[in-house]
């Protein structure tokens, strides 16, 4: 299975990609995670990306394409993957097409996870990561018991540097201007599936599985 998850920031691409990875043994390629790791590791790429990401702008196409190439060439599971957060503009989509043609790894589907704008802002502004367990929690949606679990484990709820209101607004604008045109692009080549991304994680996952015609 080779799929792209498309959707606005906060639509749940990362969460759903993790579930697909777990259930179907896919390679999850998240350019956001790779870039955050580069920042933590203090690499050259991380240094270039840090301020751009904090502001909610897009990192250069060359940098993210390099990350994708490395991921697809170094992992043994490369035949099956879920891309989460890539491509984010038409130029990235074209580079990806060329790369996948060269590797003879055609895409099966691009799945748009569609979420209402009000929900997106709540999901992003309420998102916290537990410093101890690494679990993602939402101060508006998570059960109190999940929050307590983190605190009892001695963790703190950390907010991503780009989950402040200014950056969130910019990320949503960048999505509308640069990423949304990809919806028509994938509709035209017949690969697009649309999934309602509102509601609970498990419910959205069921819709996603159904849309791509697989069973757990």
**Positions in the binding site for ligand AMP (CB under 6 A):** 9, 31-32, 35, 52-53, 56-59, 64, 85-86, 88, 92, 162, 171
Give the residue from 64, 73, 164, 77 showing the smallest Cα distance to 124.
164
| 160 belongs to the catalytic site | yes
Distance CA 27, CA 151 (A): 31
Write the CA distances from 57 to 99, 172, 204, integer angstroms.
Answer: 24, 10, 28
Residue nearest to ligand AMP (CB): 32
| 36 belongs to the catalytic site | no
Nearer to ligand AMP, 33 or 78 (CB): 33
Tokens of 118: 């009000």
Q: How far is the CB of 84 from ligand AMP (least distance, A)?
A: 7
Selected catalytic residue, list 2, 48, 135, 160: 160
Exposed, middle or buried: residue 79 (CB in 10 Å: 0-12, 13-18, 19+)?
middle
Structural contact between residues 17 and 212, judged by C-beta atoms closer than 8 angstroms: no
Selected catalytic residue, list 19, 123, 127, 128: 127
Nearer to ligand AMP, 97 or 214 (CB): 97
| 88 belongs to the catalytic site | yes
Q: Which residues are catalytic?
A: 13, 88, 127, 160, 171
């Amino acid at each position: 299975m080779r799929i792209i998850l498309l959707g606005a920031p906060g639509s749940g691409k990362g969460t759903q990609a993790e579930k697909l990875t777990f259930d179907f043994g896919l390679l999850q390629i998240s350019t956001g995670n790779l870039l955050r790791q580069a920042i933590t590791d203090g690499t050259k790429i991380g240094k270039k990306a840090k301020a751009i990401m904090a502001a909610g702008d897009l990192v250069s196409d060359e940098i993210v394409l390099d990350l994708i190439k490395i991921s697809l060439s170094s992992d043994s599971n490369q035949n099956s993957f879920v891309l989460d957060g890539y491509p984010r503009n038409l130029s990235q989509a074209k580079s990806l097409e060329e790369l996948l043609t060269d590797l003879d790894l055609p895409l099966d589907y691009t799945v748009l996870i569609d979420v209402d704008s009000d929900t997106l802002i709540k999901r992003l502004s309420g998102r916290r990561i537990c410093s101890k367990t690494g679990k993602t929690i939402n101060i508006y949606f998570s059960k109190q018991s999940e929050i307590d679990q983190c605190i009892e484990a001695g963790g703190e709820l950390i907010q991503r540097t780009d989950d402040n209101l200014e950056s969130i607004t910019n990320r949503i604008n960048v999505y509308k201007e640069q990423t949304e045109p990809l919806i028509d692009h994938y509709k035209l080549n017949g690969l697009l599936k649309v999934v309602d991304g509102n509601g609970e994680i498990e419910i959205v996952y069921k819709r996603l599985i159904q849309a791509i015609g697989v069973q757990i």
